[in-house]
Amino acid sequence: MTPGEGLPSSTPVVPSRTHLEPSAPELLTDRNAVRPNPPGPDATPITSAVPEPPPLFRDGRPSTAAGAPEKLSAMRTSPDPGGPPAPSGTTDSGRPPRWWPGPLVLGALFAVLTWQVVRDTPLRRLDERLGDGLRGGPLPRPFAELLADLGNMTVALPVLAAVVAYTARRGRRAGAERWWAPPLAAAGAMAAVPLLVVPLKVAVDRGAPPGMDGSGYYPSGHTATATVAYGAAALLLADRVRAPRALALACVLVNLGVGLGLVVRGYHWPADVVASWLLGGALLLVAARPLSRSTGRSSSRTPRC
């Protein structure tokens, strides 16, 4: 029987499914093609449903299931150059940097120098000859005395206390996270100076340079005080000044001046000063992590002195 035979003339003939759906090549060549209207009074145009292409990543790769894990893995291992900076106190991989190698190296050097000073070694004899040559030497006596006085607690401690109070007040008013950590770290490093220096003076019991009385001159308490006090102050202020490198240079020059003034005035042997630089540097490296990470400072700007 032919289509439409035996049916009322007013009933439309419904075409088969193959006449309604376009072929696959048609879908690919003409995405917006309009299919023919099926017979009938109420027929409306039907557009072909072609899926939209998947979105692309920045580098042009499709965000498919195979490409997404690779992109996520790359995001975990390498920072986005255009994104926000990495959190302070972390490396590019998100792990906190190791803080112990620096203090360990300085501590080992301090131990070796102490062993050389305790025993009658060529290094100790060289240290004494160098001290004799610098005593009363290249600096005028009043200027050398002034430099040595910068290591007094009555001078260095008020400087550190003022910087601690300033940074604590600024951090608290700004609502910084853990604003109390940097001042506490600076105070802790300063408190550790007499706890380490006094027992070492008693244990080593090194004799005084000519013109001085008594013993217990190794390591130098003035040098250790200046190193930690001015160094901690520089670390606290490094994020609040426009020239942190100049601040670090000033810190280094002050400490060099203190050490030179102590030797020129005959208050200490050169090895006493160097030992306190090593000891104070180790304390600063231990304190540098909380001093820098709680102020939003990147590790590259942390001054070293």
Residue pLDDT, tens place only, 92-125? 555 656 667 889 999 999 999 999 999 989 999 9
Give me 199's structure tokens.
């027992």
Backbone φ and ψ for 258, nearest 5 degrees, come out as -60, -45
The H or E element containing residue 158 is helix 153-173
Identify which has the larger pLDDT, 86 or 237. Answer: 237
The pLDDT confidence band at residue 248, using thresholds 50, 70 and 90, is: very high
Give me 181's structure tokens.
């950590």
pLDDT value at 292 more than 70: no
When mean pLDDT is compared across 66-80, 103-117, 190-204, the lowest value belongs to 66-80
The pLDDT confidence band at residue 218, using thresholds 50, 70 and 90, is: very high
Give me 123's structure tokens.
């290094």
The pLDDT confidence band at residue 263, using thresholds 50, 70 and 90, is: very high
Identify which has the larger pLDDT, 271 or 49. Answer: 271
Record the pTM.
0.66
Closest to 236 (Cα-Cα) out of 176, 195, 193: 176
Backbone φ and ψ for 189, nearest 5 degrees, come out as -65, -40
B/e letters for 151-177, b = 16+ CB within 10 Å, e = fewer, are: beeeebeebbbebbeebbeebeeeebe
Query: Mean pLDDT over all residues of the chain?
Result: 78
pLDDT value, residue 138? 81
Domain ranges of the chain: 102-301
pLDDT value at 235 more than 90: yes
Is residue 92 classed exposed, middle or buried when 0-12, 13-18 and 19+ CB atoms within 10 A define those classes? exposed
Q: Is the dihedral of CA 68, 73, 78, 79 positive or negative?
A: positive
Helix (H, G, I), strand (E, B) or coil at 42: coil
pLDDT value, residue 295? 46
Residue pLDDT, tens place only, 38-48? 555 555 555 55
Helix (H, G, I), strand (E, B) or coil at 56: strand
* Cα–Cα distance, 93 to 128 (Å, whole number): 49
Residues in Cβ contact with 2 at an 8 Å cutoff, skipping those fewer than 6 apart:
none
The H or E element containing residue 66 is none
Identify which has the larger pLDDT, 18 or 192. Answer: 192
**Averaged pLDDT, 56-75:** 52
Is residue 114 classed exposed, middle or buried when 0-12, 13-18 and 19+ CB atoms within 10 A define those classes? buried
